[in-house]
């Protein structure tokens, strides 16, 4: 388990490497990445490979080509 002292050392190292101006950008990027990962793991797959779905898709594409 990581303790308080270890977290402080990691934060100081990150601050020295990236600088204070870049920390908000890094934090927001990390937050977006975590949010997108959670969203991707909880959403059902959008790809439906059932035969009925394929027929509906083909019909829709044919209708669009006619228009």
pLDDT tops 80 at residue 66: no
CATH class of this structure's domain 4-66:
mainly alpha
Cα–Cα distance list, 15 to 4, 32, 55 (Å): 16, 20, 56
Sorting pLDDT into bands at 50, 70 and 90, what band is 34?
A: very high
Structure tokens at 35: 């949010």
Q: Go through the chain and tell me how many residues it has.
A: 67
Q: State which H helix or E strand residue 44 sits in.
A: none
pLDDT tops 80 at residue 65: no
More reliable by pLDDT, 56 or 53: 56
More reliable by pLDDT, 1 or 66: 1
- The mean of the pLDDT values for the chain is 82
Cα–Cα distance list, 66 to 54, 58, 59, 62, 63 (Å): 19, 12, 11, 6, 5
């Amino acid at each position: 388990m990581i303790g308080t002292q270890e977290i402080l050392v990691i934060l100081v190292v990150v601050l020295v490497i990236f600088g204070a101006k870049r920390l908000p950008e890094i934090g927001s990027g990390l937050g977006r990445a975590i949010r997108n990962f959670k969203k991707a793991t909880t959403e059902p797959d959008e790809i439906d490979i059932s035969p009925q779905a394929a027929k509906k898709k083909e019909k829709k594409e044919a209708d669009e080509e006619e228009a």
